[in-house]
Every structure is written in C-alpha cells, then in structure tokens.
A and B are shown apart, each in its own frame.
Chain A
C-alpha cells in the first residue's frame, strides 16, 4: 500500500510558525490538490514533502516509512516546479536523463525511459534542443517528462501552470488530467491558488489557510457543503454572499433574521440553545434568482449591472456594509441600474455559519 501520511507536521522559520500541525492521509494513486491564498503555507508543505524544506516537527511517512531525514532523491518523489527549472545548458534529452545519470543507471535504461517519456509528451522531435529554443508549453512538458523519467511513487506539482497564458493553461491542465489517468498508481500532489485547477483536477482538495487545514474533501462536496466560512468564501467565483444574521427559530429547519430586516428559513436543523445567537447567512451568487413574488429573500437596488452575455452580474449595495451582494443570473437580463429587484433562493442551497464561522450543517 503506497500512501503518504502526514502526522502533525509542523514548520517554523526561527520563531515564526508557518505550519501548525497538519494531519493528512493520502492514498496511493490519489490526486490531491493543496489550495489556499498566498502565504497559507501550501508551497512550504509541498516542499517539506519533497525534502527541500526541513520538517520542524511531526512525521512524514511514504510507504509506511518515516522519511523526515531522507534526502529528496531517495524519497521516491518527482517534482515539477513553477518556473520549470530546466537546466538551461542541457538539451531536452540531457535534462530528462540527468537524474538517472546521477543514479548511474545503464545507458540503455536511460535511453529507453527518456524516449518513452518523450513519446507520451510528444517531445521526441525536440530532444536535441536547448530549453531556450522551446515554447512555454513545451518547456512545461519537458519538466513533466523529466519527472516521469524518475518513475516516482509521488508526483509533486508546484503551481505548474501559473507561467502559461490562459489558452495554454487549459490545454496543459487537460494534459495533466490525462497523465494522472495513465499513471493511476502514482500519487499526485498539486499546489495551486487557482480554484478552477483545483476543482477540475482533484480527487480531493485540501484547503489551507494560515498553516491550518480548513477542510479536506471532494471538489463538489467542498462546494456544496463548506465546513466553514473560509472555505465557503474561497471556492466559487464570485465569492459567496455573506449577510450578518441572528437565529430566531430553531428545530428541523432554522429561521434567521438577516441584517436589514428580511427573514429566511433554511433546511438545516439546529439545537434550541442556538436561538438568539448571531450567525452568518450565506448564499452563492449563482443560487440567487429574481422573483416578483411576495415570498422573497431580500430586496435591493441594483447599483451596477455587468452583462457578460452568458450571465449577468447584479451588484446590490447597502444591505451589507462595505460589500455588495452579488447575484449571478443566467443569460441576458433586462435589469437597469437603480431598479429595485427582489431575490430568492432554494432553501437547500442556503448556508448558515455560527459566530465562529463554522457551518451549522457540519456541527
């Protein structure tokens, strides 16, 4: 059973703690994405797994063996760097062969593996070129090819797409997804700040913030049932609308009074003790609908209309201080600035978080 286990992993730079005890079980062949805002420690965590950063505390197990003090090359990992980190003075072939040459593999074995990797990545034509004669996408593929050649148990990606332009990013993303399918036994760990990459590639997403794990789960699970306000706001674009509220009725369903006077009933069960507590009410922009009924969630004046064609974004200001409520309505909407509009949403798609930010659904 080839897996990766992180037990209370900690990291500090001098007196500053950047990773505060991470526990995580990764199964063989899983595609795990670390995602989080910049500075959350996701890259540091990846580099600790790679062995490029010393582990201050806790245990890192690969294949059930503690590898805290094993040098990177002996951990059975391969890594694709953000800048690709190709050796500029070596040809594509030499770049891919470098690790095996260091390990003193036989010439035939090196040649076989390099050619096989080049074949899968359509790099055979470019084997004799220097990196500077390649396009960004090709360089990226060489970096991946170099990693494949190592036959890793664990494949690490450090924001590999962030240096590519938008179109190439989509193409390479799909390529990585295919690669993951082909290498079904290889565990992949992928760091990104791009939630689209996270949602499309991951078997499980690990959302990190300030050196903690906020939530681990399958992409849609995280989207539909965020454990806390942070995850709720981090995934989805535009971010979830959050309105201060107070709990007015508890039971099988919960009723809250939103700031500004409106009330809403959610399909979430709460204990009687919660009544009267302040909470945060959340609804995703794409879950809001325009209604003319008397049974609406809230009403507001549209201050900005952004018509994108496929969707129309309506900004309603004044309900929550400092931040507009955003509604994402499919298609082209005949709404003008200054118009007063009523919104509603399905009960099951509403979210409620307690005053510490924890979801009532997860309690």
Chain B
C-alpha cells in the first residue's frame, strides 16, 4: 500500500486528514486559549487573535486632582494610562464625541484651560496654571494597541467565586466510589456467567445484553419514587451520595458484566482445569487466577465508568439534586450557562476545569479504553 509516497493522491490524503484534525481540535483549543486570556481581550476579539496585538478603544480616568503637585509654579497631575503594561497609544481625546482627536505627543487644550498631553507610552500629564478642583479625575479617551495578555485570573475567579471548587469535590465524591464498587460485584457475576455451569445461564447472558441498551430515562421516575419512599421510611433524605453511588452501580453493571464476561470467557479453559486439578475451588480460581488475569478488562471498565460518572448530568441532578451544595461540575456548568451566558471568561475556565480530569484519564489510559471499546460493543454477525 505504500508504494508511491509522494503521489498527488497522498498529498490529498495528508491535507484532508489535516483538515479533519483541525476541525476536531480547534473548538477545544479555542476554549483552552480563551480561558487563559484577559477577560477584556476575550470579550472583544476572537481567540485566534490571541497572539496578535489588539487595538482597543479605551477610556480611563486620570488621577484625581488631589494628587496634583506644584512644579515651577504650575500644577501638574501625571500618571500612565496603560498602568505599567506594555502597549502603545495611537490616539487620544477628552470627549466621547472625538475620542481620537489627537496624536500622541500632541497637547490638547481642555475646556477649563488645563492642558493634556499623552505620549505613545501611555504616560500623561495635565498641566494647569491654577490649582485644580474636584475629586474626580479627568476622563481620557484613547486608542491603544495592547499586546496579548495571558493570565490565570479566570481560573482564580471561578475556583473562588463560582462554586467550581466545591463542585469539583462533589464530582470526585460521586465518581470514585461509583467506579470502584461495581467492579467486584460485576467480576463475580461475570465469572459465574463465563465459567460455571448452571441452568438458565444462557438466558441470564441474554438478559444482560438486553439491559445494556435500556434507556436511563426508563429508570428515573420509578427510582425517584423508590428513593423517596425509602428515604421517608428510614427518615433520611432521599438524595444522598449513597443513593447515587448505588444508582451508578446499577446502571453500569450491564456493561461491566458483559465486558468482563466476554474477556473471562476468552481465557484458556485449560488454565482453569489445571487449577482445578491443583485443588483450587471456584472461589480460589476466581481470586487467584481469573481476577489477576482479567486486569486489562477491569481497567477498561473502570475507565469507562469513571468517564461516564464524571461526565454524567442526568443521574446527578435527579438523584443528588440541584442545590448549591450538591451540584456536580456538569450541573454547575449548565447553571452557569444560564446565569452567566455572556461571561465567556467564566464559562471557558469552568468548562476547562470540568473536562480536564477526563482528558488526563483519557490520555494516560487510552490503550485500555480502546481495548474496552472494541470488546464492549455487541459484535455483529
């Protein structure tokens, strides 16, 4: 297949794959880049311009007259419009009607006889023959070319003020036990379905395959009623972490059993028989032979279940609730979409915090994930 490597066809292949990869990565890249940008820049220019200098029309108040100093018999207020950041002023003015009336270095005569000079580096000087009055500084309009600015401020803000940090902990609280608890339960069941002989085994396997596709929506209302009933009966709240762990376990079990059973059934029969000749009971065989050998399948399932429980929204808002205390990251993000729909600096940073954990898991354990995917989809004829 790799005869002529430089044929025009292969260039087309390279280009089309490149295009597809761009389509698939740019949206996420945009999110990540935006979350690191200064929020003023983010709001006025596209993230693809993040590296180029942006021209902004800004307005700033000069320092208040209280800071004036007397120099050579004149009263002077000075400061810098760019506040120490890099950039350059290309025009300025003192009224909103003509915000760019003067070039840097020029001196503008203000209405009350004061003289305003703004230089390209942003430093300004207001000179007056008489002592200036008032407490509010002069408004200065200016056009500045601001170089790109990257900051972690957005992250600081969402972690402290928007409840993202608390939700992060909630998500972990939901996801970790929901991932670990079903594994043992599923593994025992899978072993029985793979290697023990008993009447009804084939039917049970078929049932598990069937349950694999039962929509979650079917379970919501009956379980909600059940949880309310149990909660009222035991005098505990209906929406608890224990409840959601068990729910995630129940919903994850069909895939777990199916995946593990397929894997275990593929282990060599003679190894089990050899262990039996060696005197191992079913329990010994499971614990000492099958479980260690099934590690790849266990890992696959654990990754699936973790991604699924971390990324889940529906189960969390139904069984854990939507209160500020219980919101998981996905739920919080949906709320922010509603309440802070226009504040992209908050949304992008929050979204990135939401997706970073699964992304790390994904890149670290991709091998097992792919293996699990290949084993987990019901094979066709």
Could you tell me which A residues sit within 8 Å of B by CB distance?
A: 47, 50-52, 71-74, 77-79, 81-89, 98-99, 102-103, 146, 150
Question: Are A98's CB and B275's CB within 8 A?
Answer: yes
Question: Are A79's CB and B268's CB within 8 A?
Answer: no
Chain A residues with Cβ below 8 Å from B289 are 87
Question: Are A85's CB and B279's CB within 8 A?
Answer: no
Chain B residues with Cβ below 8 Å from A83 are 268, 270
* Given known A-B contacts A83-B270, A85-B268, A78 and B277 have beta carbons under 8 A apart: yes
Question: Are A73's CB and B271's CB within 8 A?
Answer: no
How far, in whole Å, are A350 and B60 apart by their CA atoms in the complex? Answer: 120
Q: Which residue of B is nearest A47, CB measured?
A: B273
Q: Which residue of A is nearest B197, CB measured?
A: A54
Q: Which residue of B is nearest A54, CB measured?
A: B197
Question: Are A102's CB and B279's CB within 8 A?
Answer: yes
Question: Are A81's CB and B270's CB within 8 A?
Answer: yes
- What per-residue 1/0 map shows which CB atoms of B262-280 lie under 8 Å from chain A? 0000001011011111111
Q: Which residue of B is nearest A94, CB measured?
A: B288
26 A-B pairs in the complex with CB atoms less than 8 angstroms apart? A47-B273, A71-B276, A71-B279, A72-B276, A73-B278, A73-B279, A74-B279, A79-B273, A81-B270, A81-B274, A83-B268, A84-B270, A85-B268, A85-B271, A86-B271, A87-B271, A88-B271, A89-B292, A98-B275, A99-B277, A99-B278, A102-B278, A102-B284, A103-B279, A146-B274, A150-B278
Question: Are A79's CB and B274's CB within 8 A?
Answer: yes
How far, in whole Å, are A71 and B289 apart by their CA atoms in the complex? Answer: 19
Give min CB distance, A89 to chain B, whole Å: 5
Chain A residues with Cβ below 8 Å from B268 are 83, 85
* Given known A-B contacts A87-B289, A88-B293, A102-B284, A82 and B270 have beta carbons under 8 A apart: yes
Question: Are A52's CB and B271's CB within 8 A?
Answer: no
- By DSSP majority rule, is chain B's interface helix, strand, loop, or mixed? helix
Interface centre among B277, B288, B289 (most CB of A within 10 A): B277
How far, in whole Å, are A102 and B276 apart by their CA atoms in the complex? Answer: 10
Which B residues from 278 to 319 make CB contacts under 8 A with A? 278-280, 284, 288-289, 292-293
* Given known A-B contacts A87-B289, A102-B284, A73 and B270 have beta carbons under 8 A apart: no
How far, in whole Å, are A52 and B276 apart by their CA atoms in the complex? Answer: 8
Considering the complex of A and B, which 5 residue pairs feature the smallest CB-CB distances, nearest first?
A73-B279, A99-B278, A85-B270, A85-B274, A81-B270
Give min CB distance, A13 to chain B, whole Å: 12
How far, in whole Å, are A146 and B280 apart by their CA atoms in the complex? Answer: 14
Question: Are A77's CB and B277's CB within 8 A?
Answer: yes
Question: Are A52's CB and B278's CB within 8 A?
Answer: no
Chain B residues with Cβ below 8 Å from A52 are 273, 276-277
Chain B residues with Cβ below 8 Å from A89 are 292-293
Question: Are A72's CB and B277's CB within 8 A?
Answer: yes
How far, in whole Å, are A86 and B289 apart by their CA atoms in the complex? Answer: 11
Question: Are A98's CB and B278's CB within 8 A?
Answer: yes
- What per-residue 1/0 map shows which CB atoms of B241-275 lie under 8 Å from chain A? 00000000000000000000000000010110111
Question: Are A73's CB and B276's CB within 8 A?
Answer: yes
Question: Are B284's CB and A73's CB within 8 A?
Answer: no
Give min CB distance, B281 to chain A, whole Å: 8
Which B residues from 212 to 226 make CB contacts under 8 A with A? none
Give min CB distance, A59 to chain B, whole Å: 21
Q: Which residue of B is nearest A156, CB measured?
A: B277
Chain B residues with Cβ below 8 Å from A98 are 275, 278, 280, 288
Given contacts A71-B276, A88-B293, A102-B280, 18 further A-B contacts (CB under 8 A): A50-B277, A72-B277, A72-B279, A74-B279, A81-B273, A82-B270, A84-B270, A85-B271, A85-B273, A86-B271, A87-B271, A87-B274, A87-B289, A98-B278, A98-B280, A98-B288, A99-B278, A150-B277
How far, in whole Å, are A89 and B277 apart by their CA atoms in the complex? Answer: 18
Q: Which residue of A is nearest B276, CB measured?
A: A72
How far, in whole Å, are A79 and B279 apart by their CA atoms in the complex? Answer: 12
Interface centre among A47, A51, A88, A150 (most CB of B within 10 A): A88
Give min CB distance, A302 to chain B, whole Å: 47
* Given known A-B contacts A81-B270, A82-B270, A102-B284, A87 and B275 have beta carbons under 8 A apart: yes
Give min CB distance, A276 to chain B, whole Å: 54
Chain B residues with Cβ below 8 Å from A78 are 277
Q: Which residue of B is nearest A98, CB measured?
A: B278
Q: Which residue of A is nearest B291, CB measured?
A: A89
Q: Which residue of B is nearest A53, CB measured?
A: B273
Chain A residues with Cβ below 8 Å from B293 are 88-89
Chain B residues with Cβ below 8 Å from A85 are 268, 270-271, 273-274
Question: Are B279's CB and A99's CB within 8 A?
Answer: yes
Q: Which residue of B is nearest A143, CB measured?
A: B274
Give min CB distance, B275 to chain A, whole Å: 7
How far, in whole Å, are A273 and B289 apart by their CA atoms in the complex? Answer: 65
How far, in whole Å, are A124 and B110 apart by their CA atoms in the complex? Answer: 99
Chain A residues with Cβ below 8 Å from B280 are 73, 98, 102
Chain A residues with Cβ below 8 Å from B284 are 102
Give min CB distance, A99 to chain B, whole Å: 3
Contact of A73 among B277, B288, B292 (CB under 8 A): B277
Chain A residues with Cβ below 8 Å from B271 are 85-88
Give min CB distance, A146 to chain B, whole Å: 8
How far, in whole Å, are A52 and B277 apart by their CA atoms in the complex? Answer: 8
How far, in whole Å, are A51 and B278 apart by their CA atoms in the complex? Answer: 12
How far, in whole Å, are A51 and B280 apart by their CA atoms in the complex? Answer: 13
Chain B residues with Cβ below 8 Å from A71 are 276, 279
